[in-house]
Amino acid sequence: MNVDLHCHSNFSDGCLEPADVVRRAHGNGVTLLSLTDHDALDGTEEAAREAAALGVRFVPGIEISVTYQNRTVHVVGLGIDPENPALKSSLERVHAGRAERAQRMADALARVGLGGMLSGAQRFARNQAMIGRAHFARHMVASGIMPDMPTVFKHYLAHGKPGFIPHRWAELEEVVDWIRGAGGIAVMAHPARYCKQLSKAAFDNLIDIFVAAGGEGVEVMAGTHSPEEVQRFATLARRYGLLASVGSDFHGESESLVDIGRCNPLPPDLEPVWHRLV
């Protein structure tokens, strides 16, 4: 069984159409797939249709942005009902915040001499409700301002850089509620990232709050996890009794470390999250 439960289409900041994400997954041997666009569900229907046509099992998903101790944390929701009214209206509020942030990012970049960045980013976004840092970065690469995406983030868009706007996303508990209310399972995405950003005490507290709020899973196998990190989060899953997930976090061929469906299998003693999804 080849499972990938974290990837993006151009309805958020991925490069491919949802159907092309599914075709790529199928071509790479994926048998169970979730599309988890940032704060957006619009690609679900197209992806589900293509998955059905190709015989790939498909789980509706999402990746929702959360603010925890002034840092951004991502929570993946798997097996959600994409038509859930409460989830949809909550996401509309997130989109309003994103639009405001995009304007403020453009203003901040203009102050360091880079004008026209919002219209530039908009040209790279299929879904105008979901403008993110990756769209700004693609525009800055395409217009020759910076050589590649990691360099853009390093100089302009990473936390604390001139184009970075501190933004208050939703609360962790609230997002877990949205996901559970829509019938889904909340999974802590790529936890290694937060270990690098937070103190040990703050990271432990993040997991405690997540579990207390009803979070049930953690990405053990993530596209950005080293083998040591896989072991570390396998241990965490065992300690908290969390379901284990696998996700490449694929965004596009030239932008992602790991292709869709190319993560290693989970340590065999962990309970895979898909036991609860299918």
Q: Which residues bind ligand AMP (CB under 6 A)?
A: 13, 38, 65, 132-134, 149-150, 153, 158, 251
Cα–Cα dist 250/117, whole Å:
25
Beta carbons of 272 and 218 less than 8 angstroms apart: no
Residue by residue, what is the 3-state secondary structure of 80-99? Answer: CCCCCHHHHHHHHHHHHHHH
Cβ closer to Mn ion: 56 or 131? 131
Closest CB 151 distance from ligand AMP, rounded Å? 9
Return the bridge partners of 62, or none: 77
Identity of the residue, 84 or 256, whose beta carbon is nearer to ligand AMP in the bound complex: 256
Determine how many CB atoms are found less than 10 A away from the CB of residue 6: 28
Count of Cβ atoms closer than 10 Å to residue 245 Cβ: 32
Check: CB of residue 86 under 8 Å from CB of residue 116: no
Is residue 13 a contact residue for Mn ion (CB under 5 A)?
yes
Binds 139: which of ligand AMP, Mn ion, none (CB < 5-8 Å by kind) = none
Measured from the CB atom, the residue of 13 and 46 that comes closer to ligand AMP is 13
Per-residue tokens: 129: 């409700």
Report which residue's Cβ sits closest to ligand AMP: 132
Asked if 46 interacts with Mn ion (CB under 5 A), we say: no
Closest approach of Cβ 53 to ligand AMP, in Å?
Answer: 28
Element spanning 134, H or E: helix 133-142
* Near Mn ion by CB under 5 A: residue from 24, 74, 138, 225: 74
Contact call for residue 219 and Mn ion (CB under 5 A): no
Q: How far is the CB of 118 from ligand AMP (least distance, A)?
A: 13
